[in-house]
Structure 1
Amino acid sequence: MNTHSAAARKKPHHHGNLRSALVQAGIDLLEDGGLPALTLRKCAAQAGVSHAAPAHHFNGIDGLKAAIAQEAFRRFSASMLAAADTGDPSPQGRLKSICRGYLHFGQAHPALLQMIFGVTPEEMEAADTDSPGDHEKGTNAYQILSEACAPFVPAGTDPRIVEIQVWSLAHGFTLLALPGRFIEDGIDHTEALFDQVMTLLHHVGPAPSPTSP
């Protein structure tokens, strides 16, 4: 018998908040083994509780995934805000820092980034939540981006144009960086390339309307 595993199962991980413990257990499974490693039974075992415990908090595996995505969004938002709070406070600097926080979250938590963008808004709303405001967690990250982009949106222009430009730049660069694509001869060039690519932020905004001849 594996005494270490038995001890782990008996350990009271949840400290009175079983739902949060199960979400954290699911996150641990994701980060260790990716989406295939996430099951309700493994999640219960990871949290050290009965295999039936997740059924009291989630509507099946989809409910667990949605709850994990909500927590992932919260941490994603925190990463962007932390980067913004410690970077250049100018509007341009804040926007770049938010993109840097986006990159750093993706590098540290690639499985959570995948989870965030793999769950639909409908699935998020379907999650069985115990905490007020949980449904709002999924909107915070975009709100942070939107507010940082606002100074660069010309009057009378749909703000989504600028927001999607910046979002595409940050998300695309992050996905390209994740496999270690920018590491050459043992040297990681990601940050240097990030700084160069982000100079494109100086040009965000809608394309000028064509002038009449």
Structure 2
Amino acid sequence: MAASKKISSQKHMGVGRPSKESGMNVREALIQAGVDLLENTSLEDISLRKVAAKAGVSHVASYHHFENKHSLFAAIAEIGFQKYFETYQKELEKTDNDFKGRYRALGWTYFQFIMTNRQFARIMFGGTGVDVKTHPTLLAVSRRTYRQLHEIIRMGQNLGYLEKGNTREKTLASWAMIHGIAMLFLEGRLQMKNDLSEMERFIQTVTEYAYNGMK
């Protein structure tokens, strides 16, 4: 959010209530401030007051957009999932449109997204206290990640790459493996390789072990 936009938003909030004209900009400023704070601030230490100060808007105005910090986290997570899906679609364009191509692309995208968007990952996959059931749009977009992998597993079964049956269990096993590897790197228990192509080969090898075990 450019400084000029922040200043403009502040002018509209002289009494702590944003106008309809500036409302969307204020909301976006708060979300961006939340994302920025997540880079170096623990979830427990983040508050709407700190986010408002970072965004350059009044603390009172923040409550016109978010009931509490968990509502803000939900909005950040939703944007994170949308960014993830966009990344996956771009990765698919570089792969073969078959089971192995889709499976590898999803595994690599999932890993790469978490490592390059750590502030989003902390909200999307961490224990933030957000009840997704109270945020329908977040619930829908978060479930899409599972459905995406479920469809790929079913595709592998239909094409004969994987043994049929227990589709749900195989989906969860695949997700647990790639998510677990990503978390090990995210927490520093495994060290990233300097060469990106070497890192990609490593992750694809892991995903291949996952589907080889389901044959």
**What is the deviation of 1:105?**
0.6
Larger displacement relative to structure 2 (91-100 or 68-77): 68-77
Counterpart of 1:101? Answer: 109
Distance, in Å, in 2 between the alignment partners of 1:27 and 1:204 is: 38
Q: TM-score if structure 2 supplies the norm length?
A: 0.75
1:22 aligned onto 2:68: no
Q: Tell me the number of residue pairs that the alignment of Structure 1 and Structure 2 aligns.
A: 196
Aligned residue for 1:86, secondary structure, equals coil
Counterpart of 2:148? Answer: 144
Counterpart of 1:3? Answer: none
Counterpart of 1:173? Answer: 181
**What is the deviation of 1:171?**
0.5
Counterpart of 1:10? Answer: 7
Residues 71 and 130 in structure 2, CA contact (< 8 A), matched pair in contact too: no
Residue by residue over 1:40-62, the C-alpha shift from the partner in whole angstroms, topping out at 9 and shown as x without a partner, is: 01211222211112211222122
Q: Structure 1: which 5+ residue stretches go unaligned? A: 1-5, 207-213
Which letter maps to 2:7? K
Distance, in Å, in 1 between the alignment partners of 2:125 and 2:66 is: 20
Check 1:60–1:202 CA distance in 2 against 1; reply closer, same or farther (3 A cut). closer
Residues 115 and 182 in structure 2, CA contact (< 8 A), matched pair in contact too: yes
Q: Structure 2: which 5+ residue stretches go unaligned? A: 11-20
Structure 1 ranges of 4+ moved more than 4 A: 6-9, 13-16, 119-122, 186-189
Residues 9 and 46 in structure 1, CA contact (< 8 A), matched pair in contact too: no
Counterpart of 2:16? Answer: none
Residue by residue over 1:139-164, the C-alpha shift from the partner in whole angstroms, topping out at 9 and shown as x without a partner, is: 22222222222212468623211211
**What is the deviation of 1:20?**
2.9
Aligned residue for 2:178, secondary structure, equals helix
Q: Percent identity?
A: 27
Distance, in Å, in 1 between the alignment partners of 2:177 and 2:9 is: 43
**What is the deviation of 1:168?**
1.4
Residues 166 and 204 in structure 1, CA contact (< 8 A), matched pair in contact too: no
1:76 aligned onto 2:84: yes
Counterpart of 2:66? Answer: 58
Distance, in Å, in 1 between the alignment partners of 2:55 and 2:155 is: 45
Check 1:149–1:16 CA distance in 2 against 1; reply closer, same or farther (3 A cut). same
Superposition CA RMSD, Å? 3.1
Check 1:123–1:103 CA distance in 2 against 1; reply closer, same or farther (3 A cut). same
Residues 146 and 163 in structure 1, CA contact (< 8 A), matched pair in contact too: yes
Q: TM-score if structure 1 supplies the norm length?
A: 0.75
Check 1:172–1:162 CA distance in 2 against 1; reply closer, same or farther (3 A cut). same
| Pairs within 5 Å for 1:32-51 | 32-51=40-59
Larger displacement relative to structure 2 (72-81 or 175-184): 175-184
Which letter maps to 1:191? E
